[in-house]
Amino acid sequence: MKSLAVALCALPVLLAAAPSSSPNGRWWGRYEYQEAGRPVVTFRIDVTISESGVLTGTSEEEASDFGPTTRHTAKLSGTYLDGELKFLKVYDFDPTKMVEYRGVRVGDEISGTWTVPGTTFSGRWFVRRAPKEKAPPKPPKAPPASSSGWKRSPSSRSASTIASTNQRPDGTFCSSYRCG
């Protein structure tokens, strides 16, 4: 009876640690350097995990103190097995710039450590699953067509009437959601 009580007490902890769904998708977070005085960098990763545990994906981050641009993109490749991730991030601007990541997933959060091979650079990282994105708004319905194609309105129509029917001032219609 005592072992049953211990097992029942541990059950909520085990359930909380179980991943809520596939790790595939978008994750947002940050990484920080072990060295003092270095900036904390926010980043996002988009990952896909195959059934065999192969991890592939991309990363985008704000620029820290290296690289030629204000945003850095990279390719990810590695493995995912039993909640543990190991992957290599290779920067698009310079394929010789690589970072090794190791982490553990608990539910909708992943945390771990990173190192730059051959250097003393290292630190911690953390990501949280991105919230589900809302679907983009549907474009407005096109105005009815006449037998000869789209109707053209007289040039005396107001700008607000033209905008509400996706019609340009020259009488042609926009083909996208935003007339511009």
CATH (domain of 56): 2.40.128.120
Same domain for 164 and 117? no
At 101, which amino acid appears? Answer: Y
Same domain for 32 and 121? yes
Assess if residue 124 is contained within a domain: yes
Same domain for 89 and 149? no
CB 101 within 8 A of CB 87: yes
Please say whether the dihedral angle defined by the alpha carbons of residues 58, 133, 29 and 69, taken in this order, is positive or negative: positive
Closest CA to 166 of 177, 155, 156, 158: 177
Assess if residue 156 is contained within a domain: yes
Q: In the numeric block, which tokens belong to residue 126?
A: 């953390």
Instruction: Determine if the pTM surpasses 0.75.
Output: no
Distance of CA 157 to the CA centre of its chain: 44
Domain carrying residue 144:
139-173
Q: Which strand (E) or helix (H) includes residue 74?
A: strand 71-81
Same domain for 32 and 83? yes
Number of domains in the chain: 2
d(CA 3, CA 178): 64
pLDDT at position 165: 44
pLDDT at position 67: 58
Residue pLDDT, tens place only, 65-82 = 665 667 889 999 999 999
For the ranges 51-55, 146-150, 162-166, the lowest mean pLDDT is seen at 162-166
